[in-house]
Structure 1
């Protein structure tokens, strides 16, 4: 059952959450681009939480792939990962609105939108998991 469509969605979510944060910047100020891993060196603990949440999201999505025998737990982990990505999105929006030096020219990077794409893929994965669970329940009724 590892070849199901929800596996593709969960794998894409995991890849997006882990790889894209290294490739695309979160925001760009006049002098340099800020990536998620750069925030680990920050003094503010709120900024340190951003890369940690990206990594937790990727790990949970990857673990959910191998829980195909326990669809209910896979569904719950998918919802938990959606919640983590929504928290991450809110945190990124808050940080982007309170960036120091906003009077200078700065632009938001594509990395700010990674949690939105991850939530979309997780919703599709949970929909497919629910569909599988309903199919199994309907077959059990026929027995």
Structure 2
């Protein structure tokens, strides 16, 4: 039935993925020289102000580097869509469990991409000791991991209950 507890968790996964798509995931601000890096679901942006040559009056125009990370947005959207699909598979708990397993794999790969982009690529930028700040998009992905684990747990609990009642008949 669609009014089960796992439906709420599967819906919350879809909401969390929407939040992750709409909000920035990570940001790093460096004050000396003025620079900023930001990771969203679609693009990894680095903006730097070049250092002035000694004694030469020059205009300092910030230089922006953008790297497309469209595959991150694609994975986030796939997790959201697959969790919405799993909601309507309430009659087939095996399919729901499989969709939760696929979601777990995709969420793990999303976290791997984000950690690679922030900890390794972001370390090359600015102060290596400063790791930057994780923003609401990152925490939404962590919440989706927790909701996925809870949904999977309640789906398995329902399956166990159904198998137990079949034995009694």
Fold match, TM over 0.5? yes
In structure 1, which of residues 63, 75, 78 is the aligned counterpart of residue 97 of structure 2? 75
Structure 1 pair 89/6, CA: closer, same or farther in 2 (3 Å)?
same
Contact 2:20 2:41 in 1 (8 A): no
In structure 1, which of residues 127, 135, 138 is the aligned counterpart of residue 164 of structure 2? 138
Alignment of 1:57 with 2:83, yes or no, is no
Which residue of 1 is the match for residue 3 of structure 2? Answer: 3
User: Any stretches of 5+ residues in structure 2 without a counterpart?
Assistant: 30-35, 45-65
Normalised by the size of structure 2, how large is the TM-score?
0.73
TM-superposition CA deviations, 1:26-74 (whole Å, max 9, x none)? 12244575432345xx545xx2211111101101111000000000011
- Looking at structure 1, the residues matched to 39 and 67 of structure 2 have their Cα atoms a distance apart, in angstroms, of 15
Alignment of 1:102 with 2:101, yes or no, is no
Whichever of the two has the greater Rg, that structure is: 2
- Looking at structure 1, the residues matched to 93 and 117 of structure 2 have their Cα atoms a distance apart, in angstroms, of 36
Which residue of 2 is the match for residue 21 of structure 1? Answer: 21
State the number of aligned residues.
138
What RMSD in Å do the two structures reach over aligned CA positions?
Answer: 2.0
- Looking at structure 1, the residues matched to 145 and 134 of structure 2 have their Cα atoms a distance apart, in angstroms, of 19
Which residue of 2 is the match for residue 12 of structure 1? Answer: 12
Normalised by the size of structure 1, how large is the TM-score?
0.85
